[in-house]
Amino acid sequence: MNHRFPASISMLAAVTAVVLLVATPVFGQASSSAPKAAPAAKKWTAKTPDGQPDLQGFWTNSTYTPLQRPNGVTKELYTAEEAAQIEKQAAERESEQTTPGTIADVHYDFTQFGLDRNQSTHASNMRTSLIVDPPDGKLPPVTPEGQKRQADRAAERRRMGATTDAVQNMPVGTRCIIMAGSGPPMMPAGYNSNYQIVQAPGYVMILTEMIHDVRIVPLDGRPQLPQNVRQWIGSSRGRWEGNTLVVETTNFNGKNPFQNASDDIRVTERFTRVDANTIDYRFTVEDEKTWARPWTAVLPIKKSVGPIFEHACHEGNYGVRNTLAGARAEEKRAAEAAAKNGSK
Amino acid sequence: MRTKLAVVIIGVILLLAAVPVWAHHAFSAEFDVNRPLTLRGTLTKWEMINPHSWFHIDVKGPDGKVAEWMIEGGSPNTLIRLGVTKYTVKVGTELIIEAYQAKEGTNKAVGRNFVLPDGTRLFLSLNGSVPGTPGGNPEK
């Protein structure tokens, strides 16, 4: 359908990101300035009234750090100077990513709409990739079964026809069903990568701004939903391990496969508040049908500015209608031109 | 400007994965790269909605007749967080919009650049140049 959307989808994970660290210094203040090493963080001990470690508030996981380590980069961490330079260049590229008269120019300007990541709170850091395991910062090799499934899915998409042929062929994000921010794992949405966490006795609620998904995580040790109950954001169950909230999610419906995983993907997230402004967020993905080994990524979630604004995506999604109407108009023009040529 | 930046960027690509355009949908499927146009008109309504905002403007043609256009822009959420409101660009404001028309051929377009008659670009929140608003990064 276009050159831009597939790129953004494939990069959704690739650039998505964020970062974090535990073994390494957390770079606190998001900004376009050079990351600075945080002073030795005091252990965060604040509790909610019912005694849970306090994760509440407004947060963002916006970042310039890619999920996978760029080709040619062999180290885990940039120097502070390299990190600052790379983020500066990424921000410059983000602000000027179009050339008039090209497909890439057929878009509103991100800078005008405040959507460049450096215009809002984001998490700077020195990691070269969000993935910390495998140690090379790359996704593990895909198993033969995983490769076959990916090929089958691609073949099915071709069989269905162009994305402009029917609304059902459009990506789920375009149709305002779900976007990357909801996860799990929670990946940056690219813009509006904002969350609100609310804790009540026995539950943690995570509201995702893009696109207004709510995850209510019970903490009472109840079993997962039956295997035949499948959901877009899976079924999450949480528990506390010390000050770390551990959330295990299964039961995905398979219609929005994270990194082309199978329906049996299992995601384990760990949220640890390390200071007033930072949650250390790390997740491990297990799916033997897709990868030969589990893999883990680490990213910071930073304190952001509330409130969460409603993202009533479907209600204002004129784009689907306009795109389908545009495709039909082009087909009509082509048919008329063909008929005209045929009558000569 | 763009050329200069392009040169700067070359060095980056060696180290950095390309930054994607974070589009919610395929704009080149909705709008036609072969139909660029510049519209000058008066704002009648700004729909600050998701996933993308829409500017309604009245454009007076050479014959004096007024045509209504709808121009697609970005999600308003981040702008609102940066201090922009629906009053930032008041109804009645004259806008010059570089755009690409919808493939459907109707009076719809995507606005790749919004400019005021005095040449000011709209919504440059980063440097606080949004007229009448605080603008800027709340952390700065």
Please name the residue of chain A whose CA is at the shortest distance from the CA of residue B24: A174
Which CATH number characterizes residue B82's domain?
Answer: 2.40.50.140
- The mean pLDDT value for B60-81 works out to 93
Please name the residue of chain B whose CA is at the shortest distance from the CA of residue A188: B22
Handedness of CA A317, A318, A321, A323 (dihedral sign): negative
Among A266-280, B5-19, B72-86, B100-114, where is mean pLDDT lowest?
Answer: B5-19
Amino acid at A108: Y
Residue B10 placed within a domain: no
Residue B49 placed within a domain: yes
Which tens digit of pLDDT belongs to each residue from B112-132? 999 999 888 887 554 444 444
How far apart are alpha carbons A325 and A317 in whole angstroms? 14
Q: Would the pLDDT of B139 be above 90? A: no
Residue-level pLDDT at B84: 84
Residues 6+ apart with CB under 8 A from A56: A48, A197, A198, A199
For tokens 């849970």, name the residue: A52
Residue B3 placed within a domain: no
Q: Do B29 and A320 touch (CB under 8 A)?
A: no
Residue-level pLDDT at B124: 59
Chain B environment of A189 (Cβ under 8 Å): 22
For tokens 């893999």, name the residue: A295
Q: pLDDT tens string for chain A (344 positions)?
A: 333 333 333 333 333 332 222 233 333 333 333 334 444 456 788 999 999 999 999 999 999 999 999 999 999 999 999 999 999 988 888 877 677 888 888 999 888 888 888 888 888 889 999 999 999 999 999 999 999 999 999 999 999 999 999 999 999 999 999 998 999 999 998 899 999 999 999 999 999 999 989 999 999 999 999 999 999 999 999 999 999 999 999 999 999 999 999 999 999 999 999 999 999 999 999 999 999 999 999 999 999 988 999 899 999 999 999 999 999 999 999 999 999 988 76
- A&B contacts, CB < 8 Å: 253
Residue-level pLDDT at B2: 44
Name the average pLDDT for chain B.
77
ipTM attached to this prediction: 0.82
Residue A270 DSSP label: E
Chain A environment of B73 (Cβ under 8 Å): 108, 112-113
- The distance of B55 to chain A (nearest Cα, Å) reads 12
Residue B78 placed within a domain: yes
Q: Would the pLDDT of B15 be above 80? A: no
How far apart are alpha carbons A339 and A331 in whole angstroms? 12
Residue B140 placed within a domain: no
Please name the residue of chain B whose CA is at the shortest distance from the CA of residue A174: B25
Amino acid at A30: A
Residue B123 placed within a domain: yes
- The mean pLDDT value for B30-41 works out to 95
Residue B74, domain extent? 25-127
Residue B5 placed within a domain: no
Q: Do B72 and A319 touch (CB under 8 A)?
A: yes
Residue-level pLDDT at B119: 87
Helices B2-13 & A80-95 angle (0-180, nearest 10): 140
Number of domains, chain B: 1
How far apart are alpha carbons B111 and B116 in whole angstroms? 13
Residue B40 placed within a domain: yes
